[in-house]
């Protein structure tokens, strides 16, 4: 439910009795609804009552997916049935696979997120429950989307690599199967676990831009696939899901510039130049987490484990990242968010940078679908008001 808030540029009293301007653009600081799916605070991220560090340490992604979609922690029997059902749904319809391959071949400048959005739209035409918004039908659609999105991601990447799409591997869990479909290689135990943890960390985050987009679209009582396509479009933006791609590109820029400088520039100097140029440094700051995103530390520690196993060529990215992070904290008092270590971690795992955000979708589809189902079950169309700032009333022929 909405709460009132000062208009952009208005003032609010402080504890000292003075006033300061409050910027509510982007609905900053305003509560716009209720949810039982997730809670985000300065110190905690909670999925249906379970804190994210607990889940990252003790759960699998499939367990988290069941928690979000079905609504409770799965028993061993429920988890087995859920995993078996998801695996049975993985194969892409041939027409969707062929369309993804054709787009990737014929449109080399198409972003993988745009291809993924098109793939999900095509899936809607073949889903027998597409126009049914009943709870049972929506749960079935959620499971199919969870199962088939890795196939779209994999078919896209394999095509870009000049190879044919692969069939899913029923011996692999969700994270490992996703990596297999992209690369044609079965990941090692550590890499598979790191991907699994990253998917847990990205699965849900209350009313972020893409989830709120999904809920807004769903509030018109349209179908789940339409809402998910809107979420993919929102997540594609560099200020949201695309931040992990841009964070890694920034680190690559630093590494390249330092190499070209041949010792005449260090990381501190590069960063100071970036500050002067007002360059947007991606992977830092968060609308909610002002004192640090606790997901970032979890993913960094897992990524560093892999880097240490792989050796100096991988470890250098974490050393560079640590320097950048320290400078940002010292100079701007801004902490990294989860996208910063994600960029480095996926990079040393050999994942092409343009696929970082599609991988995000392979996780966040669980949170999106949970919110779409919640919206449909207690719906009222989302229609906020706007404060008009245009010209005063005037006559057309005056």
The catalytic site residues sit at: 240, 286, 339
Rg, C-alpha atoms of the chain: 22
Torsions phi, psi for 224 (to 5 deg): -60, -40
Tell me the C-alpha to C-alpha distance, in Å, between residue 263 and each of 267, 312, 319, 387. Answer: 11, 19, 17, 54
Rounded CA-CA distance 333/329 in Å is 4
Beta bridge partners of 284: 336
């Amino acid at each position: 439910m909405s709460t009132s808030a000062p208009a952009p540029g208005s003032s609010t009293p402080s504890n000292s009795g003075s006033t300061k301007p409050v910027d509510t653009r982007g609905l900053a600081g305003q509560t716009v609804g209720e949810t039982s799916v997730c809670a985000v605070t300065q110190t905690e991220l909670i999925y249906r009552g379970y804190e994210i560090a607990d889940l990252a340490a003790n759960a699998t992604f499939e367990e988290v997916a069941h928690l979000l979609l079905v609504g409770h922690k799965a028993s061993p029997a429920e988890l087995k049935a859920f995993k078996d059902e998801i695996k049975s749904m993985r194969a892409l319809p041939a027409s969707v696979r062929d369309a993804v391959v054709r787009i990737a071949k014929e449109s080399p400048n198409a972003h993988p997120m745009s291809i993924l959005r098109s793939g999900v739209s095509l899936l809607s035409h073949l889903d027998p429950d597409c126009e049914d918004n009943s709870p049972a039908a929506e749960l079935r659609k959620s499971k199919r989307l969870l199962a088939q999105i890795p196939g779209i991601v994999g078919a896209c990447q394999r095509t870009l690599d000049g190879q044919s799409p692969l069939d899913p591997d029923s011996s692999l869990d969700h994270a490992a199967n996703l990596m297999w479909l992209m690369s044609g290689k079965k990941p090692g135990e550590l890499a598979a676990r790191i991907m699994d943890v990253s998917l847990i960390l990205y699965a849900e985050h209350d009313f972020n831009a893409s989830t709120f987009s999904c809920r807004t679209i769903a509030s018109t009582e349209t179908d789940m696939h339409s809402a998910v396509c809107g979420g993919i479009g929102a997540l594609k933006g560099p200020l949201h899901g695309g931040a992990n791609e841009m964070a890694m590109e920034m680190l690559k820029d630093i590494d390249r510039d330092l190499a070209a400088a041949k010792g005449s520039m260090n990381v501190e100097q590069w960063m100071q130049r970036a500050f002067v140029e007002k360059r947007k440094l991606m992977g830092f700051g968060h609308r909610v987490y002002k004192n640090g995103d606790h997901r970032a530390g979890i993913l960094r520690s897992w990524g560093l484990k892999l880097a240490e196993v792989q050796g100096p060529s991988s470890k250098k990215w974490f050393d560079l990242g640590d320097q950048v992070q320290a400078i940002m904290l010292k100079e701007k008092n801004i902490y990294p968010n989860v996208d910063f270590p994600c960029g480095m971690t996926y990079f040393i795992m050999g994942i092409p940078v343009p696929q970082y955000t599609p991988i995000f979708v392979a996780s966040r589809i669980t949170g999106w679908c949970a919110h779409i189902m919640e919206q449909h079950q207690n719906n009222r169309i989302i229609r906020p008001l706007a404060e008009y700032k245009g010209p005063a009333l005037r006559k057309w022929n005056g």
